[in-house]
Amino acid sequence: MADLKVNLLGIELDNPVIPASGTFGYGYEFSELYDINVLGTFSFKGTTKEPRFGNPTPRIAECTAGMINAVGLQNPGVHKVIEEELPKLKKCFNKKVMANVSGFSIEDYAYTCELLDKQEQVGWLEVNVSCPNVHGGGMSFGTNPEMASKVTEAVKKVTNKPVIIKLSPNVTDIVSIAKACESAGADGISLINTMLGMRIDLARRTPVIKNVKGGFSGSAIFPVAVRMVYEVASAVNVPVIGMGGVSSAEDVIEMMLAGATAVEVGAQNLINPYACRDIINDLPRVMEKYKINSLKEIIKGVRV
């Protein structure tokens, strides 16, 4: 019988499949479609210190083999998440959940993480360093090893649960940033976040998205994600969570061979709300096809 179990920073998952933040809400919406307890876990909607309405519309654009979004971290703020969203989630999900955290200053990150760290439902903190640093000219925290390191250090000082730093691919050297986060105490690394993209309306001759540019995701970015996961997993000694264009059980296996301990599925959830369930159900077939008995055995198993 195929063994789908993996261990993610001390917590055993029934399988490595994790819906990515921003594509699965707070879970209970999907629980109306199927039993979401089949998931390894999921990363809930990116949460900030204060409520955010998000960017002006239109903020979604379709493109070949993917999509561009500039939602702008719309969320009710950490206090509402704790008071309202997590209690609703508890009614339909009996596993530990991954809390995704965003911020616009180091203080924002520390404040939000400290509150979510105290929640019994939260198993891991996934810290998105792709946000603009409002005190540093708007440059993303994740584009600079020193800034990514400072965020990691600040969060680690106020938390006890595993901290996973989520990296942006919009850099020239993602390995140096991953290593800086590891040196600062990160327990794990997740990657890649969306790439930067843009579409133009030919008739109007204006950008399709009001924000002009947005995050490009979908199956088109999968090869880039595999390459970056491989590079980072080869350079750090902490677990890596791979994501970026994953849409099938075969993709999950490929990510794990590149070095991922677990795999997040993002844009595919917006195309097919049953995507993660279907991928999990298909994993035993793909494992049998490639003579894999246990997923734990194939992590970083690519031959070069």
Cβ neighbours, 10 Å, residue 75: 25
How many helices (H) and strands (E) are present in the chain, helices listed first?
Answer: 10, 15
The two structure tokens encoding residue 45 = 């909607």
CB neighbour burial string for 229-257, b if at least 16 within 10 angstroms, e if fewer: bbbbbebbebbbbbbbbbbbbebbbbbbb
Q: What is the pLDDT along the chain (304 residues), one digit of tens a residue?
A: 899 999 999 999 999 999 999 999 999 999 999 999 999 999 999 999 999 988 889 999 999 999 999 888 899 999 999 999 999 999 999 999 999 999 999 999 999 999 999 999 999 999 999 876 556 554 689 999 999 999 999 999 999 999 999 999 999 999 999 999 999 999 999 999 999 999 999 999 999 999 999 899 999 999 999 999 999 999 999 999 999 999 999 999 999 999 999 999 999 999 999 999 999 999 999 999 999 999 999 999 888 8
- The residue annotated as part of the active site, out of 113, 131, 181, 276, is 131
Per the structure block, which two tokens stand in for 269?
């959830």
Q: Hey, how many other C-beta atoms are within 10 angstroms of the C-beta on 10?
A: 10
Tell me if residue 181 is catalytic. Answer: no
Of 48, 167, 162, nearest in space to 107 by CA: 48
* pTM of this structure: 0.96
Domains, in order of start, for the chain: 6-54+72-195+220-298 (3.20.20.70)
